[in-house]
Structure 1
Amino acid sequence: MAAQTAVDAEQNANNNAAPNNVNNAANTANSSAANDETASAQQTTQDRYIEKMQIIGRSQALNKASGSATLINELALERFKFDDINRVLYSIPGVNIREEDGYGLRPNIGFRGATPERSKKINIMEDGVLIGPAPYSAASAYYFPMTNKMTAIEVFKGPAGIKYGPNTVAGSLNMVTRQVPQVSEGFIDVATGSDGYAKAHGYYGTTINNLGILVEGVHLRAEGFKDLDGGGDTGFEKSDIMTKLRYDLDGEFVDQVFELKLAYAKETSNETYLGLTDEDFSANPNRRYVSSQLDNMDWTHSQFQFNHYISNDDFEVITRVYRNNFDRAWYKINGFKGGAVNRSLQDVLANPNADETNQRFYHILTGEQDSVEEYEKLILGNNDRSYYSQGIQSDLNLNLAFFGFTNQVEAGVRFHQDQIERNHTTDSYVMQNAALVSTGADTLATTTDREKTDAISVYLKDTISIDALDITAGVRGEFIDAKYQNRAAGAQGDYLDKSTRIWLPSLSLFYSLSDHGGLLFGVHEGFLPTSPKQNPLIDTESSVNYEFGGRYNQDDFNIEVIGFFNDISNLKEGCQFSSCGSDNDIEFNGGEVDLYGVELTSDYRFVLNDDIDLPIALSYTYTQSEFKTSFESGFDMWGNVSAGDQLPYLPNHQVSLTFGLTAQTWDINMAIRFVDEMLEASGDGVVLSGVTTKALTVVDMSASYDFDQYGLVYVKADNIFDNQQIVSRRPYGARPSKPQQWQLGYQYRF
């Protein structure tokens, strides 16, 4: 996939809706002159409105924005038709990912070395609104929107991220859903593939006079690529339906757009945290032990968003009101009951032959032996959680002239509330005849608490243009009031109330060397709040982040090179089930850390003849990290750290190369990605100390043929050479990358 850097955004200005533009043009050409005039007027307002749904501006040939900005438009998303956000983001420099389930159901995404664990250190947004279940109270993103319904994916790193919070240590990911079309159009996409894969995706939208409507639905399912001992489904089903209503109101002095978005999504997946021993992985990387036969995630998500956009030649204001509800229950194996003998699942699977006790525990997990002793009973937990996230935010763009200088002012304010309620329980089972059998004991409540946050955020940015130099100064304020309440019986006194007040400055410079290239420099303060339940002695994460680089674009050639240095004065990490196999949600401080590296992205389109083009895109990331102090930690991913140790799950080198052959009726694309080896733990004294994942090279391909009015047929293969490696040994044992998967699909537009 050719990720487009912000420098070549102008030539892609119309691609946010491509390939719909072909149908739009044909339909408009057949309409009456009166309808043409109305559509043209609406398009002007709607184009401006669409751009406000995105971070990256696309109005200039040479993008002078501070920070590294990358846009993947709908045309690029269509090339590979990925369902997995991980596969989309691999083409963007500076993105570090820890894969988990192979389908991207619960991604782990970081930017510029920030921990990828549950994407908790980046701002995840949909249509400019925070979309995580509880971004302040419980940042771990156990919900992630469906990639299929997105028409643009944006990644923004560096000083311009000061506009988006609460997390400014790394950057922001914004996903843009389909806009209401100006004329009647529809789309159907159906596919089938290996491992029981099936997809059904469609939308229809139209605008009559000033009122527009869009309905879009996606359903995905797969039987899964893992083989459960004794048989069983290891796949998933997920669905998403979205409706938008838009009303355009063009006035004499201002133009306005009113839009309502309603969405509902559901997933049921037979997913587990239980992996394999390294020996079993070598024999069959897709095996699943029988002890995970009851593991299942079940969630629902509902979304409400109302947007009001008002503009004229001098200013633009967009106001968003939003509410997201997320309810989930993940029933899964937690470990052995313990007592007389305690062994974690991570220790058993990392060292199955360490002693007779580990061997027996291993054989119980695999169903080769029955549970006999009390401590050999298996505990399955239901992590039942309810979240909401709601608020109102307003953003202003204003062009002013002071003392002969042009000022582009951006300002915004947001009032946000979110909450998580945990109602975790556990049940006791024994392994008998290679099956889990309930002991009949009562279900026990484990974690019963509530975390809630009220936050007011403000930001102000001003870009001053002085000849070839653009100077952008900005500041963000976060004013956070957080509450924690242990709701368990007899624990009413277990209550915490704390506040955080902070101002985060930024400064960036862009110097235009010509109409096609320039240099950039930026510095901004990074911040990451603690969750409401954390002890006030745990400090927020803070850093000073620098970048320097340049970008150049001319005709069909684009290149951007940026070096970055993150001077972290206080690193913060936390234990979740995905990392430590525990639901205690304890956070740890790691002191000073240096993170630095280089990001390169470039693309070029070779014109082979009048009919065939050869687009090529390259993305490369070099990242290095270093703890500056030595300390002892109770965090499973750190252990006892010595100064100079590197961070876990951070590859030194990542490369993505995409290329294709494109003609009028057919299209062939290939993507090659390389991810270097990664440490499983930083220091000494923990189970995975000194253990690494192996470097992994994966090749994906897609091909399509357009039968014009009869639709388009496509075939695609993920991991065409079926190369599998261990992508992580967390929380319990070795986890595989996705094996080879084929798909055959058909698309029809009308």
Structure 2
Amino acid sequence: MTKTSMFTSRGRLTAVAAIISASLSTPALADETSVERVSIIGNQQKIDQAAGAVDVIGELQLEQFQFDDINRILSQVPGVNIRQEDGYGLRPNIGFRGVTPERSKKINIMEDGVLIGPAPYSAPAAYYFPMASRMTAVEVTKGPSTIQYGPNTVAGAINMVSRGIPADSEGAVDVAAGTDGYYKGHAHYGNTNGQFGYLLEAITLGADGFKELDNGDDTGFDKTDLLAKFNYRFSVGETSQLVELKVSRSDETSNETYLGLTDADFAATPYRRYAASQLDKFEAEHSQVQLTHLLETDQLRVTTRLYRNDFERDWFKIDNFTSSQGGQVPSLLEILTRPEDETNQRYYQVLTGQRDSTSQEILQLNSNDREFFSQGVQIDVDGDVTLFGLQHEIATGIRFHEDEIQRNHTATNYFMRSGSLTPTGEDTRATTTNTENTEAISVYLQDTITLGDLRLTAGIRGELIDGYYQNRTPGFEQDFQHKTTRIWLPSVSGYYALNREHGVFAGVHKGFVPTSPIQDASIDVEESINYEAGWRYINNGTRVEVTTFYSDYSNLIESCSLSSGCATDLTFAAGEVDVYGLETSWHTSYRLTNGWSMPITVNYTRTESEFNNSFYSSFAQWGFVNEGDSVPYLANNVGSLSIGLQGNRWDVYLLANYVSDMPEAAQTALTGDSRDSTLAGVRTDAMFTLDMSASYRFPDWGKVYLKLDNVTEEEDIVSRRPYGARPGKPRQVQLGYQYQF
């Protein structure tokens, strides 16, 4: 069949004109205090009365530690499970409530309320993630409220809130330098003159890297992000309205690799990188255009967003060994897991540059060149109405979305010669050449009714998805193959105020994760029923929340990609799985003498998981699974403690994080079968990190700050996937200066 897009140029322009015209003609009352609508959670009152677990890390909290790494930021939120990878958070692996963190593909990642992943439906792996350093808030929602945000509704959503256009002249400059060649330059300025406002922002960030290549080459990264916003406020009749244009451009070059170390080499020199990874490099460009129209009245808000994101990336890196004589060669993970094996030993010596390649140990480096786009129209409406004598808070929305990934992968063969990679002279060849495209219509409706001290919320989401896959490999070309998914996802939740300080909440919703267009239609989508219940206490700056959660999966699916060790993207199903646990948080602030205060925040999450069936899977993270085995890369215990001292001039903060060890595979032990999971019975290290920051504010000349990440220089194996043991970031020292005007 031939695919025809719903987003042709004429169709797109017609839809835009119709939507804006409809918004402008909506009857309304005057409200001249309209603000940019980029938050998905809302004001503090909505947070306090939320019928579920929501968390907001605001601008002041983000500035306490000046983190560039989203993993470190989210460590302050209960219920978040993370698998570290490169130490800098360049391509994070984030999950909520036990969902697989692999490339954050099972949570909704948004910026200013819009899906920001490269191709959220077709290829949700987050090889692009917004730069955390330029955000002014990070919002996390879990539980039934996730129904508003799809397509993934099992776990939750994260919304990165970018800087808004200021009401008056306002700007800042932030520069920093540190160990391992770290540098940061960040500046922004904005103003509003009458009805017109604007914001310009630029940030550059990089480092030489903390790993040491055997040949001495750089292992660092460089990232640049440019952002501009322009808005115009006006009134039509009795409505207050705003039109805003947001454009951004970012690029990244990072000398990153998937190649890790043997456990023995990690114990000796954890920050070493083998010679075989000397050419590995990730290059990417991202651009965004977003046009927003906001209409507000006393009782109604209509937000229309048109968005387009383009992302191009090429990751040139070592992939495996091959032989000109044919025959099977061991995988990189097998070599590094058991380097003492007689067969593996010579391959290991080639990887480290100790031995030159023969025709049997040719190194294959792949250029994984991919192009993505994501575009759509999203309309969200919420307002207050009175029906049958009851107060209703209605939230509803519709999104027309299209995204696509084009893979143009190639492979080139190299010899190892005296510690350097040398092309064999063979032609570069195509390996994967295909296109995945998805068109989706999403709708949701949510109604919150207030009955005295009870706030009862019911909602439903519909995902109407059409996926298309085309193989473009020369000699194997085919027309687009079509796959359809139609699903409705209900939710119900409630919050009951016991008194002014105490409240309880509970909810249940249906979880869903779609499969990509390339996957066989016989593989069912992921579905679950998710429950939560909790208690919240708020009094005079003290906040305590305890939440229990239970996710009952009728069909857990996992996709295996290059980042988890698969040569091609494949999807596997495990059937019934249970994930359950407890989230707790406590925050307070003590007033001390002489103007000092001491804020304290404690978070703890306990998570358990178990497969309900015994089975074998060729998915490397599962293998031979027995009923009751745990889901891999899910820590049972995660906790953090943040404590600060705030004064008139000085601020000092400490953040301690603990993550218990995690299984690298569901299979608990080797059986001797050739199909055993390579990492059966192997676990990551338990990790403890201590971060510190201190700042001094001058009366008129800004502030200086000092940061120490990983104060105690912990050296832990954060993961052995896809190819060997890898470390977290070592101790890093930064000295910076920030001036606001």
Structure 2 counterparts to residues 550-561 of structure 1, below 5 A: 550-561=535-546
Which residue matches 2:292? 307
Contact 1:107 1:119 in 2 (8 A): yes
1:676 aligns with 2:655: no
- Residue 267 of structure 1, aligned match among 247, 252, 259: 252
- Residue 41 of structure 2, aligned match among 42, 47, 56: 56
* Aligned positions, number: 703
Displacement after TM superposition at 1:252 (Å):
4.6
Deviation digits for residues 690-729 of structure 1, max 9, x if unmatched? 0001211100000000012111000000001111100000
Displacement after TM superposition at 1:495 (Å):
4.4
Letter in 2 for 1:239: T
Which residue matches 1:129? 114
Contact 1:603 1:616 in 2 (8 A): yes
Which residue matches 1:425? 410
Deviation digits for residues 628-658 of structure 1, max 9, x if unmatched? 0011101000001110000001000001000
Q: How many angstroms apart in 1 are the aligned matches of 2:166 and 2:49?
A: 30
1:340 aligns with 2:327: yes
Which residue matches 1:650? 634
Which residue matches 2:681? 690
1:364 aligns with 2:344: no
Structure 2 counterparts to residues 669-748 of structure 1, below 5 A: 669-683=653-667, 685-748=676-739
Q: How many angstroms apart in 2 are the aligned matches of 1:602 and 1:416?
A: 39
1:117 aligns with 2:102: yes
Deviates more, 1:431-440 or 1:332-341: 332-341
Contact 2:31 2:239 in 1 (8 A): no
Displacement after TM superposition at 1:666 (Å):
1.2
Q: How many angstroms apart in 2 are the aligned matches of 1:62 and 1:635?
A: 40
Contact 1:576 1:585 in 2 (8 A): yes
Q: How many angstroms apart in 1 are the aligned matches of 2:624 and 2:699?
A: 63
The 3 A distance-change label for structure 1 pair 61 and 455 is closer
SS at match of 2:457: strand
Q: How many angstroms apart in 1 are the aligned matches of 2:434 and 2:372?
A: 12
Letter in 2 for 1:687: T
The 3 A distance-change label for structure 1 pair 77 and 45 is farther
Q: How many angstroms apart in 2 are the aligned matches of 1:448 and 1:341?
A: 24
Instruction: Calculate percent identity across the aligned residue pairs.
Output: 52
Contact 1:340 1:375 in 2 (8 A): no
Displacement after TM superposition at 1:341 (Å):
4.0
SS at match of 2:700: helix
Which residue matches 2:148? 163
Q: How many angstroms apart in 1 are the aligned matches of 2:243 and 2:425?
A: 56
Letter in 1 for 2:353: G
- Residue 607 of structure 1, aligned match among 567, 591, 597: 591
Q: How many angstroms apart in 1 are the aligned matches of 2:630 and 2:202?
A: 44
Contact 2:52 2:534 in 1 (8 A): no
SS at match of 1:693: coil
Letter in 2 for 1:711: G
Contact 1:62 1:553 in 2 (8 A): no
Displacement after TM superposition at 1:563 (Å):
0.1
Displacement after TM superposition at 1:251 (Å):
4.6
Contact 2:434 2:472 in 1 (8 A): yes
Contact 2:41 2:47 in 1 (8 A): no
Which residue matches 2:387? 402
Deviation digits for residues 453-505 of structure 1, max 9, x if unmatched? 00000000000111111110000000000000000112223742110000000
SS at match of 1:732: coil
TM-score, structure 1 length as denominator? Answer: 0.93
The 3 A distance-change label for structure 1 pair 516 and 495 is same
Letter in 2 for 1:174: N
Displacement after TM superposition at 1:92 (Å):
0.3
TM-score, structure 2 length as denominator? Answer: 0.94
Deviates more, 1:146-155 or 1:335-344: 335-344
The 3 A distance-change label for structure 1 pair 62 and 443 is closer
Which residue matches 2:170? 185
Which residue matches 1:96? 81
Structure 2 counterparts to residues 319-334 of structure 1, below 5 A: 319-334=304-319
Which residue matches 2:529? 544
Q: How many angstroms apart in 2 are the aligned matches of 1:344 and 1:648?
A: 20
1:350 aligns with 2:347: no
SS at match of 2:574: strand
Displacement after TM superposition at 1:509 (Å):
1.0
Q: How many angstroms apart in 1 are the aligned matches of 2:532 and 2:375?
A: 33
Deviation digits for residues 236-272 of structure 1, max 9, x if unmatched? 0000000000111145511001110000000000000
Q: How many angstroms apart in 2 are the aligned matches of 1:694 and 1:323?
A: 41
Q: How many angstroms apart in 1 are the aligned matches of 2:411 and 2:537?
A: 57
Deviates more, 1:52-61 or 1:120-129: 52-61
Deviation digits for residues 282-336 of structure 1, max 9, x if unmatched? 0010000000000000000000001100011120111110000000000000010
- Residue 277 of structure 1, aligned match among 259, 262, 272: 262
Q: How many angstroms apart in 2 are the aligned matches of 1:479 and 1:266?
A: 33
Q: How many angstroms apart in 1 are the aligned matches of 2:648 and 2:388?
A: 52
